[in-house]
Structures are given as structure tokens and as C-alpha cells.
Amino acid sequence: MEIAVQKEISGSRETWLVKTGSMAISFSDQGSAMSFADKLKERVEAPHPLLGEVLLSSYAGLGEVAQ
């Protein structure tokens, strides 16, 4: 997934956009936009279990906390 940070100037107003796919989120400063983009990239690239694994572990009781 491509995540891009772009500066946009409209009149005298400067905003920063984080774009991914068809979404664009605006920020008033570059630091906030970069921080958001970095966290989004980190979360997208994190390992995720497959849906079948989640359903199977729930069904088998593996998601329960032992007491």
C-alpha cells in the first residue's frame, strides 16, 4: 500500500495531506502528517493473522485466558 505525504497550498493556507488509495487526511503541519503516515505504515506492515486462524483459535478456546 502506497502512503504519500504532500503539501497543498490554497490561497495563503498551507495544509499537509496523507494520501493512501482513495483517501486523503489533512493536517495543519508537516510533523503531524509525517507522524500519522509513519504510524499508518507501521500498522499496515505489521503481521496480521488470517481470518481462518482467528476463527479457529476462538472456536478451539485458544483465545481464552487461563485461570
Task: Give the number of other CB atoms < 10 A from CB of residue 60.
Answer: 9
- Please tell me which residue, 65 or 37, carries the higher pLDDT value: 37
pLDDT tens readout for residues 21-31: 999 999 999 99
Q: Give residue 47's pLDDT.
A: 85
Structural domain boundaries of the chain?
A: 4-59
pLDDT tens readout for residues 38-63: 999 999 998 877 766 766 666 666 55
Give CA–CA dist 13/35, Å, rounded: 21
Residue entry with cell 502512503? 3
Predicted TM-score of the model (pTM): 0.70
Closest CA to 15 of 31, 27, 32, 5: 27
> In the chain, pLDDT over 90 holds for what percent of residues?
61
